[in-house]
């Protein structure tokens, strides 16, 4: 599972097209699913600012990017991306100033004398800031260690470690797809009992690209589950059959098209006809495999037939990719030999 960037909707909407929640005056995002509100204005700002950058007018572009911040929730990934980009533009301007001043003599400033008795305390604060910065950078390792420890304790070392590694591979699929599209992504953060998420940054991203990033997680998860199946066939250890079954089932659950799951993000790139075709495919897959999880995916697709989040240009590639993932994951569940007892 992952939390990707929220979709944007028109400011004139009175209800959210994703979850149908009422939007109040002054809302910057849907109070239920965090879908953004101001589409046309943000798109116009983005295009104008990029044109100014290409023309070398970095100062004007920087101010235009800043004008978009009041239209975005403070904690949104778009707002974080704009702040980071503004800092990059500031850094470019600072570098230009340094080049212009490189021939001028510089005076060394003794800040210890200027700050007087405050200098030792400020030095300690600076070191603490560095310490906390490093600690935040370690949140991936710390959260994964906690995640691994919880499942190790609950299910034993073999299944617990294998399950945690499968979740890691799933999340790294999102990271891979984000970086493949030239965007910035943090390493995953793990939440025991809830899964994990990848925080990534980008602005004005197409629904097709969002769908690609969302479905990359289940694709990598499928490969991890298939790998466990291969190990089982080689070693005949029941724990690897159990891991393959759990991984395939979990990634199928992730394809249910509701907003907090990967399938919910991918469904934004699908037309109503494409959603209907996937609904029919899920019913057929259920009849072939007797896997009830397909009924959950079908129910989600039935719901998305009536939502208002239909894209202007649907993605056939996304529909085909989605259907292939459903079929292969279902086939893997069908052929996995589940054995009672001794799996863990």
If one compares 254 and 190, the residue with the highest pLDDT of the two is: 254
Residue at 31 is within a domain? yes
> How many residues can be counted in the chain?
344
Q: Which residues does 236 contact at the CB level (< 8 Å), separation at least 6?
A: none
**Count of structural domains, the chain:** 2
Residue at 190 is within a domain? yes
Rounded CA separation 77/7 (Å): 11
pLDDT of residue 322: 97
Task: Among 96, 123, 157, give the residue marking a domain's end.
Answer: 96
Rounded CA separation 89/70 (Å): 19
Residue at 111 is within a domain? no
For residue 61, give its domain range. 1-96
Q: Are residues 172 and 310 in the same domain?
A: yes
Q: Are residues 196 and 89 in the same domain?
A: no
Q: Are residues 315 and 209 in the same domain?
A: yes
Q: Which residues does 311 contact at the CB level (< 8 Å), separation at least 6?
A: 207, 268, 269, 270, 271
Q: Are residues 150 and 237 in the same domain?
A: yes
Residue at 83 is within a domain? yes
pLDDT digits (tens, 9 = 90+) for 298-336: 999 999 999 988 998 999 999 999 999 999 999 999 998
pLDDT digits (tens, 9 = 90+) for 82-129: 887 778 877 765 655 555 455 455 555 554 555 555 555 545 555 555
pLDDT at 7 over 50: no
Q: Are residues 282 and 178 in the same domain?
A: yes
By mean pLDDT, which of 33-37, 73-77, 168-172 is the weakest? 33-37
Task: Among 96, 120, 146, give the residue marking a domain's end.
Answer: 96
Residue at 168 is within a domain? yes
If one compares 180 and 344, the residue with the highest pLDDT of the two is: 180
Nearest Cα to Cα of residue 219 among 332, 299, 310, 303:
332
pLDDT of residue 2: 46
Mean per-residue pLDDT, 244-268: 93
pLDDT digits (tens, 9 = 90+) for 159-199: 999 999 999 999 999 999 999 988 888 888 888 777 787 88
Q: Are residues 197 and 299 in the same domain?
A: yes
Q: Are residues 30 and 170 in the same domain?
A: no
Task: Among 96, 129, 162, give the residue marking a domain's end.
Answer: 96
Residue at 57 is within a domain? yes
CB 1 within 8 A of CB 196: yes
Q: Are residues 79 and 2 in the same domain?
A: yes
Nearest Cα to Cα of residue 200 among 51, 25, 212:
212
Q: Are residues 210 and 72 in the same domain?
A: no
Residue at 110 is within a domain? no
Residue at 124 is within a domain? no
Q: Are residues 172 and 277 in the same domain?
A: yes
267: confidence class by pLDDT, cuts 50, 70, 90: very high
Q: Are residues 268 and 323 in the same domain?
A: yes
Rounded CA separation 245/293 (Å): 13
135: confidence class by pLDDT, cuts 50, 70, 90: low
Q: Are residues 199 and 251 in the same domain?
A: yes
**Global model pTM greater than 0.85:** no
Can you point out the beta strands (E) in 133-241? 184-185, 189-191, 195-197, 200-201
């Amino acid at each position: 599972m992952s939390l990707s960037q929220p979709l944007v909707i028109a400011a004139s909407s009175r209800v959210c097209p994703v979850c149908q929640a009422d939007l109040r005056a002054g809302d910057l995002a849907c109070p239920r699913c965090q879908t953004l509100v101001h589409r046309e204005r943000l798109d116009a700002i983005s295009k104008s600012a990029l044109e100014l950058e290409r023309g070398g007018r970095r100062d004007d572009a920087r101010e235009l990017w800043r004008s978009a911040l009041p239209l975005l929730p403070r904690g949104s990934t778009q707002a974080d991306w704009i702040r980071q980009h503004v800092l990059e533009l500031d850094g470019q301007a600072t570098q230009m100033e340094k080049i212009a001043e490189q021939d001028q003599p510089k005076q060394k400033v003794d800040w210890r004398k200027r700050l007087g008795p405050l200098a030792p305390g400020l030095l300690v604060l600076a070191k603490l800031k560095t310490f906390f910065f490093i600690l935040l950078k370690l949140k991936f390792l710390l959260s994964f260690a906690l995640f691994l420890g919880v499942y190790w304790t609950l299910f034993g070392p073999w299944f617990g470690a294998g399950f945690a590694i499968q979740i890691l591979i799933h999340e790294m699929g999102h990271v891979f797809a984000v970086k493949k599209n030239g965007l910035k992504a943090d390493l995953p953060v793990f939440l025991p009992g809830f899964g994990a998420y990848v925080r990534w940054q980008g602005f004005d991203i197409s629904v097709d690209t969002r769908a690609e990033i969302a479905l990359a997680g289940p694709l990598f998860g499928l490969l991890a589950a298939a790998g466990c199946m291969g190990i089982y066939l080689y070693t005949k250890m029941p724990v690897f059959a159990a891991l393959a079954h759990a991984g395939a089932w979990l990634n199928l659950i992730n394809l249910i098209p509701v907003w907090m799951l990967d399938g919910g993000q991918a469904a934004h790139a699908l037309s109503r006809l494409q959603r209907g075709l996937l609904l029919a495919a899920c019913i057929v897959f259920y009849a072939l495999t007797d896997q009830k999880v397909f009924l959950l995916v079908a129910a989600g697709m039935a719901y998305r037939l009536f939502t208002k989040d239909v894209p202007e240009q649907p993605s056939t590639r996304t529909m085909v990719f989605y259907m292939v993932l459903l079929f292969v994951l279902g086939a893997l569940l069908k052929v996995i030999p589940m054995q009672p007892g001794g799996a863990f």
